[in-house]
Amino acid sequence: MRANFFTSVHARAVAFLGLLIVVIAVGEAVYKIVEENSVSIGFSFFILPLAVIFLALSLVIEYLARIAAALDRRAAPARPEGGS
């Protein structure tokens, strides 16, 4: 169960990085529009797919963590009913 916790933490960290990249890309686009009165999408075309990759990777890690947790519960020995 402990390994599943760390895998879940890794998935959340990767998702956070993806969201951080999205915030940076949007901030850069807003800066270009407001300060320079121009729209430059070259940087966004590079950075937004990178953010999507990070978010997709976080979903895959989270899904694998759930599968591992289910297999962990399935492989756990059954507890005896009456004794201690």
Q: State pLDDT tens for residues 49-74.
A: 777 787 788 778 778 777 877 777 77
Please state the φ and ψ torsions of residue 83, each to the nearest 5 degrees: -85, -175
> Per-residue pLDDT averaged across 4-31, rounded?
74
- Report the amino acid identity of residue 43: F
**What is the model's pLDDT at position 42?**
61
SS (H, E, C) 30-71: HHHHHHHCCCCCHHHHHHHHHHHHHHHHHHHHHHHHHHHHHH
The number of distinct structural domains making up the chain is 1
pTM: 0.51
Q: Is 17 helix (H, G, I), strand (E, B) or coil?
A: helix
Q: What is the pLDDT of residues 36-47, one digit of tens each?
A: 776 666 666 666
Residue 69 domain-assigned (yes or no)? yes
**What is the model's pLDDT at position 13?**
78
Residue 83 domain-assigned (yes or no)? no
In terms of residue numbers, what domain contains 52?
A: 2-75
